[in-house]
Structure 1
């Protein structure tokens, strides 16, 4: 399993790694280097400076590069570039995605300034909703392992095009990986005609792959996701960015006292 989320093509992959030099951002960088160990990559380490901050970040970048070189074996096909921007975080990320032709953003769920009890921090939330690029969010306690059980929560209300779903197909190229499509409804599990049509499209796309549908009823979506991920030992959650209804309930809420999936399971966000 050399590549899981990124297709193998001739050109090198361009990966954006936003960092605030916190432990959470380091965990995301370490995860990315293990995940893409065998993939030729340009890694762009991006730090966004507040206009009021006069700190010289060159020493921080130097320490980060030293940490990378001492923690991982040197890969000839990995190249690192440091970038400092002096504008808003979202604008910086969006500009770098366009300028560097970024294939994927990999970042921590929270940074040093995101200590509030939310599933994802403010910066990650803004990237999800405002930057159209594949995004892999790494929680604070996530450690890399080969994906064997992958969850795909959906309400079947929106059709997703084949190109958007391509990373799922890449993941399932590994015969040991299973996709668990999860539908959670607060009232009933019955699908209307429109939802059934979208479910059929998904079935056609996954033909020949290892997958299963799971229909649950629960008034609290985050609780249902928690129970499901624990029971199935899920190690990656995939979501379509345009499905904002599920996003708000699974990622953009603050009721995290009784759930743990946000601390250990990466989220892959797919954009059209």
Structure 2
């Protein structure tokens, strides 16, 4: 089975670090990686007239940078079953990603959480968070700035057990199978406090994961949920966090911003957001 991984890039170090992480994550798998660049012209100078030839020059420079990325990626990869392709788009970032997912049957989008501008999140926002909100066609794996690849022996799956499950669970098991990872299900509350619906969903989850190594973790709700998750990640030495992106997440309660958005900015480990399959 060949995997198809999309690597959006703005040619920053963070985007390259995310690409390296993806290559190492799929080191032993047949995989096609697509370096994708959403090109837009920004007149940062005092030019009042922009010639077509000048625009073409800028486009060609970006295309050459994409090719250079594929050449560098070939040096990083040790797998002859890895292929690297480029996608140059003049659409906005989210639209270019959606188009690539549909055209190339993309299994996962892997991107860095900080772009080339280095802009403050409150000023311009984050590309990664925008993608999480607007692209819901496949899982999105966010790689923190300057993160060095660590084999994900333990993958945390934060869940409230308030929704029934669909095909989105396959994204977690497929990820865990890459490196025989243990899935650490984490729920912020006591097991004894579960409702009848939650008990039913836990039972369904256990049945789904019966052939995959997994552990259930019950954590008392004491403090902000974002901090509880962060402490759990540190205490259990979690290498990757996953979460299903419902229209309204169970983790939005008691915090001003949805935790998925917060973690998109602040996660210290790779964070995979899985769109809910209704």
Common fold by TM > 0.5? yes
Q: 2:144 maps to what in 1?
A: 139
Q: Residues 185-238 of structure 1, C-alpha deviation per residue, up to 9 Å, x if partnerless? A: 5x9972222222212211221225432222221231111011101100000111
* 3-state SS in 1 of match to 2:18: helix
* 3-state SS in 1 of match to 2:233: helix
Q: Give the CA RMSD over aligned residues.
A: 2.8
Alignment counterpart, residue 214 of structure 1, candidates 182, 200, 217: 217
Q: CA deviation at 1:99?
A: 1.0
Separation in 2 of the partners of 1:151 and 1:42? 26
Alignment of 1:196-235 (within 5 A): 196-216=199-219, 217-235=221-239
Alignment counterpart, residue 154 of structure 2, candidates 144, 149, 154: 149
Separation in 2 of the partners of 1:52 and 1:252? 27
Q: 2:108 maps to what in 1?
A: 104
Q: CA deviation at 1:153?
A: 0.6
Do the aligned residues in 2 keep the contact of 1:154 with 1:243 (CA within 8 Å)?
Answer: no
Sort the Cα spacing of 1:235 and 1:150 in 2 relative to 1 into closer, same or farther, 3 A.
same
* The structure with more radius of gyration: 2
Separation in 2 of the partners of 1:40 and 1:175? 14
Q: 1:36 maps to what in 2?
A: 26
What count of residue pairs does the alignment treat as equivalent?
Answer: 252
Q: Structure 2: state its 5+ residue gaps.
A: 44-54
Separation in 2 of the partners of 1:179 and 1:43? 26
Alignment of 1:185-196 (within 5 A): 185=189, 190-196=193-199
* 3-state SS in 1 of match to 2:261: coil
Q: Residues 16-68 of structure 1, C-alpha deviation per residue, up to 9 Å, x if partnerless? A: 11000001100011011111122222211110111446423133224323432
Sort the Cα spacing of 1:95 and 1:175 in 2 relative to 1 into closer, same or farther, 3 A.
closer
Q: CA deviation at 1:69?
A: 3.6
TM-score between both structures, scaled by the size of structure 1: 0.82
* 3-state SS in 2 of match to 1:198: helix
Q: 2:86 maps to what in 1?
A: 82
TM-score between both structures, scaled by the size of structure 2: 0.80
Separation in 1 of the partners of 2:179 and 2:77? 28
Give the structure with the larger helix fraction: 2
* 3-state SS in 1 of match to 2:20: helix
Alignment counterpart, residue 62 of structure 2, candidates 42, 46, 57: 57
